[in-house]
């Protein structure tokens, strides 16, 4: 029981950090925040993602490459260029490593308005930190797992951030339905997406990358949208004026 509660908590906390901070904020600049809050969410990302922490800066650069080069050879992760999901995860890892270690030449247009905290990333993205988290997760499982089967969840916990990324980047470029005809394979994976906190409305997202509401049709509830509005109301973040207006109109009409 304790393991399942832990797994569900880590699933959503890690995903919250990824969708809110690394994806919507760092990569797409869907909203702004002060340097202080930015550092706060760096720490939140580190605590919630642990061994699978991803540098917001490297994530953002890699993800911008995905949007600019979707389904081409320059796409860091595309089912069209990998035989299976694990091969795609490995390819993504290579891109990420090349970016974070400065081994890849990146055009200037992908480097604008990025969050930076190099000293923090050096520790949080480093081997020692990752190994310490793995040891902590393993000990937790050893103490609380009531059945050996539960250990099957341990590799998912250790790689949680990458696992979430792979689910979207593989399955939401392969399955289900589209709202917008685009020149790429992006699809909306679920009709109602609570599991991936709105990330699975991936066809919508490729159409409107910096929208604060990933849902477009009446049933496409984006659980992060009210959270973003709440954070804006609490002045933790600032919304660009236009985005707020567009999202509000979409809410009111329920149409695209």
Interface contacts to Zn ion, rule CB under 5 A: 186
The closest residue (CB) to Zn ion is 186
What are 177's strand-pairing partners? 188
Of 23 and 157, the one with the shorter C-beta distance to Zn ion is 23
| C-beta closer to Zn ion: residue 10 or 60 | 60
Q: In angstroms, what is the minimal distance from the CB of 28 to Zn ion?
A: 6
Question: CB of residue 72 vs Zn ion: minimum separation in angstroms?
Answer: 12
By beta-carbon proximity to Zn ion, the closer residue of 158 and 172 is 172
Min separation Cβ 105 and Zn ion, Å: 22
Tell me the closest approach of the beta carbon of residue 133 to Zn ion, in angstroms.
Answer: 26
- Could you please report the per-residue DSSP string of 104-165? S---GGGSTT----HHHHHHHTSHHHHHHHHHHHHHHHHHH-SSGGGGGGHHHHHTHHHHHH
Q: Pick from 197, 208, 138, 137: which is nearest to 167 by CA? A: 197
Measured from the CB of residue 225, what is the shortest distance to Zn ion in angstroms? 15
- The residue (of 55 and 186) whose beta carbon lies closer to Zn ion is 186
Of residues 3 and 61, the one with the C-beta less far from Zn ion: 61
Q: How many Cα atoms sit within 13 Å of 129 on the Cβ side?
A: 15
Show the DSSP H helices in the chain as ranges: 2-17, 35-49, 56-68, 85-100, 118-124, 127-144, 154-158, 160-166, 202-207, 224-233, 241-253
Distance linking the first and last C-alpha atoms of the chain? 42
Would you say 186 or 250 has its CB closer to Zn ion?
186
Q: Do residues 247 and 225 lie in contact, with contact meaning Cβ atoms separated by under 8 Å?
A: yes
| Residue 19 C-beta: closest distance to Zn ion, Å | 10
Q: Which is nearer to Zn ion, 51 or 203 (CB)?
A: 203
- Letter string b/e over residues 203-230, b meaning 16 or more CB atoms within 10 A of that residue's CB: bbbbbbbebbbbbbbeebbbbbbeebbe
Least Å from the CB of residue 36 to Zn ion:
25
- Find residue 32's DSSP bridge partners: 238
């Amino acid at each position: 029981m304790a393991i399942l509660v832990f797994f569900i908590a880590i699933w959503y906390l890690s995903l919250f950090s990824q969708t809110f901070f690394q994806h919507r904020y760092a990569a797409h600049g869907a909203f702004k925040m002060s340097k202080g809050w930015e550092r706060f969410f760096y720490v939140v990302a580190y605590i919630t993602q642990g061994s699978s922490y991803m540098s917001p800066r490297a994530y953002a650069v890699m993800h911008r490459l995905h949007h600019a080069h979707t389904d081409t050879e320059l796409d860091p992760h595309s089912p069209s260029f990998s035989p299976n999901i694990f091969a795609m995860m490995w390819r993504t890892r290579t891109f990420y490593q090349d970016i974070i270690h400065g081994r890849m030449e990146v055009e200037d247009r992908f480097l604008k308005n990025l969050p930076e905290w190099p000293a923090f990333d050096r520790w949080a993205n480093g081997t020692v930190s990752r190994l310490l988290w793995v040891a902590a997760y393993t000990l937790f499982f050893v103490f609380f797992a009531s059945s050996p089967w539960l250990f099957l969840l341990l590799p998912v916990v250790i790689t949680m951030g990458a696992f979430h990324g792979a689910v979207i980047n593989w399955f939401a470029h392969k399955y289900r339905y589209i709202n917008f005809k685009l020149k790429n394979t992006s699809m909306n994976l679920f009709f109602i997406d609570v599991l991936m906190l709105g990330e699975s409305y991936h066809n919508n997202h490729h159409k409107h990358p910096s929208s604060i509401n990933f849902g477009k049709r009446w049933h496409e509830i984006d659980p992060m949208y009210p959270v973003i509005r709440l954070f804006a109301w609490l002045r933790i973040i600032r919304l660009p004026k236009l985005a707020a207006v567009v999202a509000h109109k979409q809410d009111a009409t329920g149409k695209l």
